[in-house]
Structure 1
Amino acid sequence: MSAMPETLALHVLNGPNLNLLGEREPDIYGRETLADIQSLCEAAAGDVPVVFRQSNHEGQLVEWIHEARSSARALVINPAAFTHTSIALLDALKTLDIPVVECHLSNPAAREEFRRHSYVSLVATGVISGFGPHGYELAVKAALRLAQERADVAAR
C-alpha cells in the first residue's frame, strides 16, 4: 500500500442542532454528546488527523466543504436537517474529488416522510445511518479506506 500524504486530514462536518446532542431528543439521537462523537472519530481515525466541526449555518458548512477541496483526504458529513433542504451543500459537495460519506445517527428512512429525501446522497460515495454514534466510527473507517484505495490506484 502506498502512503497517503501526511498533511491531508479527514474532515468530519456536522450540521444544525448537533451541538445539542445528549440533550435534544435523546430517544432518537442518544445521550452521547458531540464531544463524545469527536473522540470516537479521532480514535477510529488512528494516526490520521481529524478536522471535526459543527455549525448551525449552511454557509459555514459550504465554506468548510470548499476548504476540504485542498486539505482533506476524505469527508464525513452529517448534514442533519440540511440533508433534506440544501442544494447549496449538494453543489459544494459536487466540487470534491475525494470520498464523501454521509452519516446519520438515526435512520431517516424510518422517520417522517420529508426526511426520506437526501440531496447529499446524490453525491455521497456511501451512506451510513441508524447506528447512533457507532455510525460515525463506521463512516470514518469507510472514508479512510476509500481514500487509501483511491491513492493505491493512483500510485499504480
Structure 2
Amino acid sequence: MNGDPFSGLYNLMRTAGQEDAPTGAARLRRGTVLTVSPLTIDVAGTTQEADRFYISHRLIAGHTEKLTVSGSGVSGALDISASCPMGSHDDMSILRGTVALNAVATQDGPVLQAGDEVLLLTTDDQTFYIIDKVVSCA
C-alpha cells in the first residue's frame, strides 16, 4: 500500500459501507474511556456516548475466537496420574511428540476499563470507529 496506510484503511471501510459511507478525510483520534457501561469516551475534551461508536469485536466481553495451537520441541516434566489394574505401571515418560490443541478462547469480561486509552477513526467527529486499546511505550 503506497502513501498513508490509514487513508487506505479508511478507503476500504468506505467501500465496505457503500451508500452509508461518510465522505471526507479520515482522522485518527485518541480517546480516554470514562465509563464502560454505558460506554462513554472523552475525545478532545468532549464526552461521546455509546451511540456514536462502532467497536472492534475483540474488545467486547464474551467475544470468542477459535484457536489452533501446536508446538514441537516442548521440554519439561509432565506428570500424568493413571492407574493400571495389574499394578505394574506407576509412571510414564514421553520422549518425543507434538502437542496440538484445538480450543475456543472466550473473553472473560470487558477489555476496556475506565481510564484506558483507545485509538479512534473518524471522518466527521460525530461517528467513531474504536480500532483498539492503546498504551504508552514510555
| TM-score bracket for this pair, using the shorter chain length | under 0.3
> What TM-score does the superposition give when structure 1 sets the normalisation length?
0.25
TM superposition score normalised by structure 2: 0.27
**Which of the two has higher C-alpha Rg?**
2
Which structure has the highest helix share of the two?
A: 1
